[in-house]
Amino acid sequence: MKALLFLSIFITSTVTAQIHDFYPNSTVWILYHNNNRLFPARSQTSIVFKNALINLVRGQRLYKNDVEDVAGFITYKITKINTSLPLTRNNGLKIYNGFRLDAMENIDNSQDVVSSFVFDIDSKSLFYIDLDKNICHLQFLPSSPDLDRCIRYCEFDH
């Protein structure tokens, strides 16, 4: 009986543990298909995905180059791609199912996008959007923990 009670308490405390949000000033926005409005995702799974995607992007050389001269602080806006307005890659292929991450410089009560990336759920890939709006595929080592977490938790809005 004591073992069963302990197991019950352990399972309950494990399930209700809160995920730490490393980027509380950044938000994931989900498109509500009934009225095409965006709303913030607040689930624990969306926080895990947000943390992983931001960490993945912050590790990219292209991101580091984009933000090296930023004077203000950076926040991140992650938006689910609207399937009726897909992004078109340089080779003509379209990204219908994914998230766009914009890194924004915050200074003097204004926000300017300084770097943009797209995580394509279907191809399980990260893309960089340059200043000319070209979408460039990025390569990863086979064992990228943040990429693995993005792949695992990207379907939180279904």
Total-model pTM: 0.83
Give the start-to-end residue ranges of the domains of the chain.
Answer: 26-153
Tens digit of pLDDT for each residue in 38-55?
Answer: 889 989 999 999 999 999
Look at phi and psi of residue 36 and say left if phi exceeds 0, alpha if psi is from -120 to 50, else beta: left
Which of the pair, 72 or 105, is modelled with greater confidence?
105
The C-alpha atoms of residue 89 and residue 15 are separated, in whole angstroms, by 40
Which of the pair, 101 or 132, is modelled with greater confidence?
101
CA distances from 78 to 2, 60, 154 (A): 46, 17, 12
Query: Residue 12: pLDDT above 50?
Result: no
Which of the pair, 155 or 7, is modelled with greater confidence?
155
